[in-house]
Amino acid sequence: MSGSGGETRRSGFKAGLPGELRAWAATDGAKWLFVFKTILAVLLSMWISMRLELDRPGTAMITVIIVMQQQTGLVLGKSLYRIGGTLAGTLASLVLVGLFAQQRFLFLAGLALWVLICTTGAVLLRNFRSYGSVLAGYTAAMIGLPVIDQPQTFFSTASTRISEIVVGILCAGVVNDVMFPQRFSDSIARRLRGRYAEFGAFMRGIFRGDVSPEEYERTHLKFVADAINLEALRSSAILEDAEVRARDLGLRQANSAYMSLSTTLHSLHQLLGRLLQGGGPASQALKSLQGLISGILPAETGAPRTPEEARQELRRIAAFRATLAKRAAALDASCAGVADRQARLDLDTALELLRRFIRELNASVAIYAALLEGRTTPDRRAVGAIRFSLRTDTLVAVLTGARAAVAILLVSAFWIASAWPSGVSALIYATIMSALCGTTPNPARSSRHMAIGSAIGLAAAFICTFFVVPTLDDSFTLLSAAITPFLLALLCIEHFFPAYALIGAGAAAFFLYMFSPSNVAQPSVLPFLNDGLASLAGVGVTTLIFCTVVPTGSAWLKRRTVRQVRHQVVVAAREPLDGLLHRFESGTRDTLRTLAATQHVSGAHDRHVLASLFASLELGRALINLRRNAAAVALAAPVERSLEGALDAVVDLIGQPSHGRHGAALTAVTASLSLVMQEEGQGLPVHQRTALRRMVTSLHLIRVALLDDETVLALTTTSPVPHHYQGLPHAA
């Protein structure tokens, strides 16, 4: 018996081994592969730079670290923008050197202004355009500062620097494309499957009551980040294969459907929670309705991996929709004796939200199935209508650029006042850090981690330069063997410890910046330490500025974010309807780009920002649906005027909150609701009755939101409020 059991265990181990190997290859194995590919590209760039006798092979090596990405398309896209940014920075440095040669004060003031402009542009732009703008800023410093007192050497310095950068770009692209290429389409497919599975698990959890309020906030914030990240990946597909370009519309539609579905899910969940919390005659029917929802939720087996599995999911949703009418009729019959008109309206609204939820779930799965099947719809007009809306705060962008300029000016002033021999090194690295960290979601945290990493990189470069390399023969092979362990350790920190990724990246970049193998004699200890400590000083000044001058977590910035999110309600009420739903959904989420990137909710301010997001999505979506359905039917003049007055009252409340405007908005919405309900009973055609029923749902949702304390506070205040409001009864 024991022998048989042991044989069974060995057989099970063998059977499970291929699956475990595949799982390892898709996770840690992929990371190890990328680390070794990066090291190979770094060594290749060093060899080519030394063969070409370039001044600083370290520049090409750092370029590899910066541009290397796991997907080929990302490397090519980033490389093109890096070249463009390098050329723009070179041109800017040419202008500055030409105008202010041997005039340090004016040159440095001009450089600070240029970095301010570039960093501001980097915040306003997205993806690799943002990176190109950052690069244009610090390239001007890298090229212009060393020749400020010797302008006659500008062209030789600029051409060498550009050559070094191009070598690094080409090495990263070739190695990444030739050795086990990771295609962009595979990455998108994995993200879509993962998002599908996570969203299904989240839906099951909230309707079972297994999700805590804190987990609800974090998960929704992750969904916001998922939508933003998928758009960033999609926009990088232009340099990928034709298959990705052909599916561009499908990816846009998938993201749009995902955002709409998550908003409807929130509205449905919140409405049921409010109504069940308030009790009332229809409470039992609403509980039955909540039980029905479990029948439409995705199975726990994960996302469909084949078109047939996706079609099975669609058939299951269609079967549920076919029985929903009977189930709704049964719920109506169970509430037939309820005389409370408001309770019946609650039930009707919940049923209409459920119908919308099922329609959007069906649309989302259908788009997913189309992507699996490779079906495309090359309608360029449809692509234009589904364009992700960017909502960057211009003032915050300018302040980000101003912080970078302040750091540069402070280091410049110290350099001029002290005649510091290594001031150029401090200023160059301060400029690089200001530009790079200023555009991250949390510049203070990023600069702190980069500072720690820079110190580690300096120590590693010192050990390698003065204790390892001198013991070797003059051989490229031995030199590569000497630096590989250092790069391996630092890159592993970056890729295997996400919390310390910036420390590892900063350490690897600074190690190569300070080690910088060249075709000349090795530097002595004193100049090495002078340049290294000066560069660290530049990093320290940048970190100090980012931690003290309007830091990302400041209450003022959070209040501005809340106002931006609230403004999206005005967008929903006022902008043209064509493509408005996607602009509203994407724009509202884009305002939370910084908070979504951290995926961490801490403190009352963050929770108030999220409360504003939920309230704005709920109210804005109701306003858009109200306007769309009103435009689909011919309404009587009094009803149209009443609806317009309700929209104006809601916009006034959002723009200038007050008790008086809150009361006026509630009165206007209630009056419109009564008029539309009267219209609904006039024996109209089916399509008009459907539109009017949906208008009633939208108006009721707006009214319920305006009667809820927490929603009103989220929409009308910019500072955190005590989290103890339970909400007013909806029929108050």
Lookup: tokens for 481 = 């063997």
The predicted-structure confidence for 105-116, as pLDDT tens digits, reads as follows: 899 999 999 999
CB distance 281 to 335 below 8 Å: yes
- Answer whether residue 67 is part of any domain: yes
Most confident of 332-346, 598-612, 702-716: 702-716
C-alpha span between 174 and 223 (Å, rounded): 34
C-alpha span between 589 and 220 (Å, rounded): 10
**298 dihedral zone (left: phi>0; alpha: psi -120 to 50; beta):** beta
Label residue 151 by pLDDT band (50, 70, 90): confident
Most confident of 515-519, 595-599, 648-652: 648-652
- Answer whether residue 607 is part of any domain: yes
For residue 548, the model assigns a pLDDT of: 86
DSSP-based three-state secondary structure for 526? helix
Are 204 and 60 within one domain?
no
Mean pLDDT of 22-36: 81
Of 514, 531, 548, the domain-final residue: 548
For residue 9, the model assigns a pLDDT of: 46
Of 346, 375, 404, the domain-final residue: 375
Are 200 and 346 within one domain?
yes
- Answer whether residue 382 is part of any domain: no
Say which residue, 720 or 729, is predicted with more confidence.
Answer: 720
pLDDT of 227 above 50: yes
C-alpha span between 332 and 539 (Å, rounded): 68
Mean pLDDT of 187-207: 84
Are 355 and 299 within one domain?
yes
pLDDT of 460 above 90: yes
For residue 335, the model assigns a pLDDT of: 64
Label residue 94 by pLDDT band (50, 70, 90): very high
What is the distance, to the nearest Å, from the Cα of residue 432 to the centroid of all Cα atoms in its chain?
23
Label residue 619 by pLDDT band (50, 70, 90): very high
- Answer whether residue 380 is part of any domain: no
The predicted-structure confidence for 463-472, as pLDDT tens digits, reads as follows: 999 999 888 8
- Answer whether residue 58 is part of any domain: yes
Are 461 and 486 within one domain?
yes
Are 166 and 234 within one domain?
no
pLDDT of 267 above 60: yes
Average per-residue pLDDT for the chain? 82
Are 483 and 544 within one domain?
yes
pLDDT of 5 above 80: no
The predicted-structure confidence for 438-451, as pLDDT tens digits, reads as follows: 888 788 888 999 99
What's the domain range around 142? 18-182+391-548
Say which residue, 521 or 702, is predicted with more confidence.
Answer: 702
Lookup: tokens for 601 = 């909710």
For residue 521, the model assigns a pLDDT of: 54
Which residues, listed in sequence order, are joined to residue 67 by a DSSP beta bridge?
none
C-alpha span between 585 and 568 (Å, rounded): 9
Are 401 and 344 within one domain?
no
Mean pLDDT of 708-727: 66
For residue 289, the model assigns a pLDDT of: 66
Are 342 and 195 within one domain?
yes
Mean pLDDT of 428-437: 86
Label residue 147 by pLDDT band (50, 70, 90): confident
Are 645 and 541 within one domain?
no
DSSP-based three-state secondary structure for 352? helix
DSSP-based three-state secondary structure for 182? strand
Are 162 and 194 within one domain?
no
- Answer whether residue 173 is part of any domain: yes
Are 305 and 349 within one domain?
yes
CB distance 372 to 307 below 8 Å: yes
CB distance 657 to 721 below 8 Å: no
- Answer whether residue 364 is part of any domain: yes
Run of H or E including 233: helix 213-235
**717 dihedral zone (left: phi>0; alpha: psi -120 to 50; beta):** beta
Give the chain's domain count.
3
C-alpha span between 218 and 364 (Å, rounded): 23
Residues 6+ apart with CB under 8 A from 389: 582, 583, 584, 586, 587, 590
Label residue 77 by pLDDT band (50, 70, 90): low
Are 230 and 309 within one domain?
yes
- Answer whether residue 153 is part of any domain: yes
pLDDT of 519 above 60: no
Q: What is the CATH number of the domain that holds 673?
A: 1.20.1440
